[in-house]
């Protein structure tokens, strides 16, 4: 299966870049709808101006087996985020202003990262936290494609995406990997600082599914195209988990590929502020109940993990 972008002509790609960059003048790249002119290097919620800031890129062996394969998933981690998750385990990347944020990385630099990851044998290019930098990603894709990029693209997101941004990515992304965090607006406001998150996530994930359908694997078990949904099970929040899983089964179908994640631990602002209810690890019993709920609902494709012996060498940027 060829990557989706190989079916677009050079003129179609150029038009896509022009449309994406024009949107930065009155930014609606995500549901925050800040409206700032990022072409003038201004920024608001995402702390990112004209150019995207990359914190690191490397072959990632900690992703799902169907993404990492034998050679790793070629992850490009973008700094900053449009959410304010109080429990964020990458707080220094997502919420603190990174050195170099004012200048960012130019399209040719990001294109070179993609091509280096391809040369290192990665199975895909995995954009992590792309919600606020869709125009910059599209801008970088064109020179990467011109220079021989031929890997599937993974859009690894919190699901706090605008439909406008997803329309730009339609026909470019092969694998959407949203994390559906919370079902209720109350929990979303408390822990993500975005009460419109559930509505935005449901709309975004539905659109992602429309674009790429269920997850398809090749003969080696490597993801080629489709939707993979992550859900981090939170302590004391199995009601949120149940609501999310019921929606997935009813709206997207029981064959939707779902990764229930059990790695939550207190981080970010949790320990230092008033969130005692999530200031503990998830229990084994809670996670077992989350998986039981998924099976009860009828979800048939739950991610199973196997340890990988690969070593990770990160390329950390300023």
What percentage of the chain has pLDDT greater than the value 70? Answer: 94
What does the pLDDT look like over 111-132, one tens digit per residue?
A: 999 999 999 999 999 999 999 9
Using pLDDT thresholds of 50, 70 and 90, give the confidence band for residue 316. low
Q: Are 287 and 244 in contact (CB under 8 A)?
A: no
Residue 78 lies in a domain: yes
Residue 37 lies in a domain: no
What does the pLDDT look like over 52-81, one tens digit per residue?
A: 999 999 999 999 999 999 999 999 999 999
Q: What is the DSSP string of 141-197?
A: HHHHHHTT--S-EEEEE-S---HHHHHHHTTT-SEEEEB---SSHHHHHHHHS-TTH
What does the pLDDT look like over 13-65, one tens digit per residue?
A: 999 999 999 999 999 999 999 999 999 999 999 999 999 999 999 999 999 99
Residue 42 lies in a domain: no
**Residue 116 DSSP code:** H
Judge whether residue 308 has pLDDT over 70.
Answer: no
Residue 30 lies in a domain: no
Residue 229 lies in a domain: yes
Look over the chain and give the mean of its residue pLDDT values, rounded to a whole number.
Answer: 93
Q: Print the domain residue range for 121.
A: 4-25+48-316
Residue 302 lies in a domain: yes
Q: Give the predicted TM-score (pTM) of the model.
A: 0.94
Q: How many distinct structural domains can be found in the chain?
A: 1
Residue 36 lies in a domain: no
Per the model's pLDDT, the better-predicted residue between 306 and 79 turns out to be 79
Using CA atoms of 9, 11, 15, 16 in order, give the dihedral in degrees to the nearest 10: 20
Residue 184 lies in a domain: yes
Other CB atoms within 10 Å distance of the CB of residue 174: 24
Q: What is the CATH number of the domain that holds 55?
A: 3.20.20.70
């Amino acid at each position: 299966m060829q990557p989706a972008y190989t079916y677009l002509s050079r003129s179609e790609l150029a038009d896509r870049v022009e449309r994406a960059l024009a949107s930065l003048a009155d930014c609606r790249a995500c549901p925050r709808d800040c409206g700032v002119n990022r072409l003038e290097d201004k920024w608001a919620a995402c702390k990112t101006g004209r150019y995207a800031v990359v914190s690191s890129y490397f072959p990632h062996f900690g992703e799902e087996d169907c993404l990492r394969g034998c050679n790793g998933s070629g992850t490009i981690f973008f700094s900053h985020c449009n959410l304010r998750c109080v429990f964020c385990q990458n707080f220094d990347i997502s919420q603190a202003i990174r050195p170099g944020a004012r200048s960012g990385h130019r399209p040719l630099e990001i294109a070179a990262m993609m091509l280096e990851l391809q040369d290192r044998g990665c199975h895909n290019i995995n954009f992590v936290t792309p919600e606020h930098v869709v125009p910059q990603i599209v801008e970088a894709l064109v020179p990467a494609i011109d220079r021989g990029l031929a890997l599937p693209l993974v859009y690894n997101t919190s699901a706090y995406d605008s439909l406008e941004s997803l329309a730009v990515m339609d026909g470019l992304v092969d694998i959407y990997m949203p994390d559906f965090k919370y079902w209720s607006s109350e929990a979303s406001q408390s822990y993500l600082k975005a009460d419109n998150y559930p509505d935005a996530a449901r709309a975004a994930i539905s659109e992602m599914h429309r674009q790429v359908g269920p997850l398809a694997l090749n003969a080696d078990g490597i993801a080629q195209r489709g939707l993979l949904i992550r859900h981090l099970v939170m302590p004391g929040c199995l009601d949120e988990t149940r609501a999310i899983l019921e929606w997935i089964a009813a709206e997207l179908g029981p064959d939707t590929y779902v990764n229930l994640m059990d790695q939550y631990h207190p981080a970010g602002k949790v320990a230092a502020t008033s969130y005692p209810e999530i200031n503990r690890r998830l229990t084994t019993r809670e996670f077992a109940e989350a998986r039981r709920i998924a099976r009860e609902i009828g979800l048939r494709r739950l991610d199973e993990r196997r340890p990988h012996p690969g070593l990770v060498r990160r390329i950390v940027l300023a």
